[in-house]
Amino acid sequence: MTERDAAEAAGAAAPADPPGSARAGERPRPRPRPRAGSRPRPGNGPRGVDSAETVTIPAVTDDRPLTTDNHAADEAAADDEAARRRGRHRAELDAAAAPALRRRQAVENSPGPGRPPLLANATVEAVPRDDAPGSSDAHLSAEAPNSAEAPFLADEPAKRRTHSRRRSILIRSAIVVVVAAVVAILLRAFVVQPYYIPSESMEPTLHGCSGCSEDHVLVDKVTYRFASIKAGDIVVFNRPKNADVADKVLIKRVVATAGQKVQLRRDASGQWDGKVYVNGLSLEEGYVNKKCGARPTLPLTSTTTWVIPKDHVFVMGDNRCDSIDSRTFGPITDSSVIGRAFLIIWPLSRFGGI
């Protein structure tokens, strides 16, 4: 037997290649996949396996959504159920609170001082809420008042605001009045005070004559706390004990101060010359009332010479012929002086400084 015949005999003895197997030097071909719902033909399966035992792949015929979509739908259904439960719970709470609300409304609507009935016809009812889809939640609501009460209720906030503004204005006005009164009292006691002129003793500088309009002046109470009284000042002082006058407070002009000597003299003929001498010098007194004549200043007692002691002043009225002053009751103490008159405030026709 030749070599060729031996090779052919060996090839015939070798088993045949199964379908889909690759020969030497060839790429293996993929085995075809069976169709959905088809049964394999005889001879298509692997060798040695009966076709009746081949497992078939069922076709997918379920129309349900995918697994993730089913999960989202379940969550939405659970949320709806929870919302319904919450709605029922709120409705139960509101129903339980309804009697207390009715009692409170009854108390508020009861007539009382300064409290008109705002909701006389109010009733409580359950109104469905729409904050949750499909919810049976309910809340309490008051029935709207009738048309006759609507204007009253609409004007109530405006009335309250108006009342509040009026009360605020009254409070502010009261505060201003109290503060002004306190300031006036303090000013009157320690700073400045008005006085009126009761007599004619200071004519014509200050009017106080009968039948005329009395002058009202302001008196400065501060100056003499820091400065000395000066000659020429018009001062208001408490009446001396030995003064024979009815008024408790007097007003005069200072003629001399502490340490000075005041004299009234006679002329060569032995008559009073009508002048005032301070430390031997006669005063030029243009403010003296001209109606008193050429010899205005005359002694009222037997005393005609005065030496002014410490902390005292000598005072006279400008109307020398009708004035009770230091010529009768002597020098007055500085402590009795209330203050210095500096301004006429009434009548307005005479308003101005003194």
From residue 321, alpha-carbon distances to 144, 202, 204 in Å are 91, 10, 12
How far apart CA 231 and CA 29 sit, in angstroms, is 145
What letter represents residue 197's amino acid?
Answer: I
User: Strands 305-307 and 138-142, how do they pair?
Assistant: unpaired
Q: Which of 135, 199, 201, 326 is catalytic?
A: 201
120, two tokens: 């006389």
Is 252 a residue of the active site? yes
Residue owning tokens 């293996």: 28
Assess contact for 126 and 96: CB atoms under 8 A.
Answer: no
Is 275 a residue of the active site? no
How far apart CA 102 and CA 95 sit, in angstroms, is 11
Residues 6+ apart with CB under 8 A from 263: 276, 277, 278, 280, 304, 305, 306
Q: Which of 135, 199, 221, 252 is catalytic?
A: 252
**Largest alpha-carbon pair distance within the chain?**
210
Assess contact for 122 and 105: CB atoms under 8 A.
Answer: yes
Q: Which of 59, 62, 41, 38 is nearest to 50 (CA)?
A: 41
From residue 50, alpha-carbon distances to 33, 47, 56, 325 in Å are 17, 8, 13, 161
Residues classed as catalytic: 201, 252
